[in-house]
Amino acid sequence: MSLVIAENITISYGPQQVLREVSFRLGEAERIGLVGANGAGKTTLLKIVAGMLEADDGQVHRSRGLRIGYLPQSPPRVDGGTVHGAMLEVFADLRQTEVELHEMAAELAERQDDQELLKRYGAAQTAFEARGGYDYLKRIELVLEGLGFDRSGWDQPLAQLSGGQRTRVYLGTLLLADPDVLMLDEPTNHLDLDSVEWLEFWLRSFRGAVVVVSHDRYFLDRVTQNTWEIAFGRLETYRGPYSEYVEKRAARYEERMRAWENQQEYIRKARDFVARYAAGQRSKQARGRQTRLERFLENEAVDRPQASRTMNLRLETKEQTGDLVLRATDLAVGYEAGRPLASAEWLEVRRGERVAIVGPNGIGKTTLLRTLMGELAALSGQVRHGANVKFGYLSQTHTELRPELSALDSVLEVD
């Protein structure tokens, strides 16, 4: 059974056509990885399916009563309530039923012979249990812990959360709501490795359909079964997760290129024949060949297959650093004396090395980076920079960028 059927979805932003006659069917329990270059239209398609954006043309048919949970890259800001309170809100109806059950139980204590009340209480209790009424608090606990929220922070006001934390809260509410379709736009952006693994496990056991946008190929391989690619405004479907899609896309492109080259050879020969025999004894054949060629070009000819371009970026420094890039000794980093977030007796980075800093959210990775660059003072210890070392820093919040500038102006502003 198809949960969502899209027919010839077309949408443009100004003169730029983003999606062109996109059609697909999303079935029950399907696991789809939606891939494509930045700006290809992945988020636009998710919003159209979720009913948050209207296409210029085409139709989206959703099964009756379909519940869609949509995670945007930047969820709406909610200032009221707490982390745990946001999770409880998902079960507002269930909690109201819980209150009513307690009231009915109190009535029964006084009216033990009321068979009608006892019957209504039994039916309500059965329905409450079937809806997960006796385990929703445990489910909330599992989700919050899985998404990296320490129990001590469950009562933290939502207004005090960072953008990444708000995204995790929003994701948690979607998972607990248990919709028919989950549409997740970059769900791993603000998750640490442990939380990503937990989310993979949760999605594998989820009973509904999933459409996920992600640049994490390993995540896509673990949670998806099929792949949809948006390229040049079109949507193409592939069986298999991301790694299989890459191979099948290359094979499909080569097959189409061979077909196009054969077509071009046919066209060339047909035109040569027409030009050679347009006059003379074989002119009738030439006219027939011309008619067939025109019919072919109008009804059967295919365009040359388009290939996505791969960026080849070569980065060079203006001047070479010394062999030592940085060295830290007896280092403690954090914001409060006596309570370091992270510490290290010895850290050293040499020219040409590539270093990854990993760890759970809140462990101090960003604080360590800013301290190593000299942007934050160390709580203790020393950080030494090598000769000619200059740092380029991309923060999670992109505070280095001026929002009033275009992408091109931002690049041109660089020295």
Q: Is residue 5 part of a domain?
A: yes
What is the model's pTM? 0.81
Q: Is the dihedral of CA 190, 192, 193, 195 positive or negative?
A: negative
Are 220 and 259 in the same domain? Answer: no
Q: Is residue 305 part of a domain?
A: no
Q: Is residue 174 part of a domain?
A: yes
Are 60 and 172 in the same domain? Answer: yes
Q: Is residue 83 part of a domain?
A: yes
CA dihedral 163→167→173→178, nearest 10 degrees, is 170
Report the CATH number that the domain containing residue 189 is assigned in CATH. Answer: 3.40.50.300
Mean model confidence pLDDT for the chain: 91
Region 146-164 average pLDDT: 89
Q: Is residue 97 part of a domain?
A: no
Q: Residue 49: is its pLDDT beyond 90?
A: yes
Q: Is residue 138 part of a domain?
A: no
Are 342 and 294 in the same domain? Answer: no
Are 235 and 257 in the same domain? Answer: no
What token pair was written down for 286? Answer: 């030439």
Are 289 and 209 in the same domain? Answer: no
What token pair was written down for 127? Answer: 């329905």
Are 232 and 271 in the same domain? Answer: no
Each residue's pLDDT tens digit, 384-409: 999 999 888 888 777 778 888 888 88
Are 258 and 391 in the same domain? Answer: no
Are 230 and 274 in the same domain? Answer: no
Are 68 and 160 in the same domain? Answer: yes
Domain count, the chain: 3
The residue type found at 101 is L
Are 222 and 343 in the same domain? Answer: no
Are 353 and 229 in the same domain? Answer: no
End-of-domain residue from the set 217, 240, 263: 240
Closest CA to 167 of 142, 200, 199: 199
CA distance 170 to 87: 9
Each residue's pLDDT tens digit, 126-136: 888 888 889 99
Domain of 374, in residue numbers: 324-412
Are 76 and 176 in the same domain? Answer: yes
Name the β-bridge partners of 270. Answer: none
Q: Is residue 304 part of a domain?
A: no
CA distance 248 to 254: 10
- pLDDT band at residue 415 under the 50/70/90 scheme: low
Each residue's pLDDT tens digit, 50-96: 999 999 999 999 999 999 999 998 887 777 899 999 999 999 999 99
CA distance 287 to 283: 6
CA distance 286 to 211: 53
Burial of 73 (0-12, 13-18, 19+ CB in 10 A): middle
End-of-domain residue from the set 220, 240, 260: 240
CA distance 38 to 138: 38
Q: Is residue 306 part of a domain?
A: no
Each residue's pLDDT tens digit, 164-203: 889 999 999 999 999 999 999 999 988 989 999 999 999 9
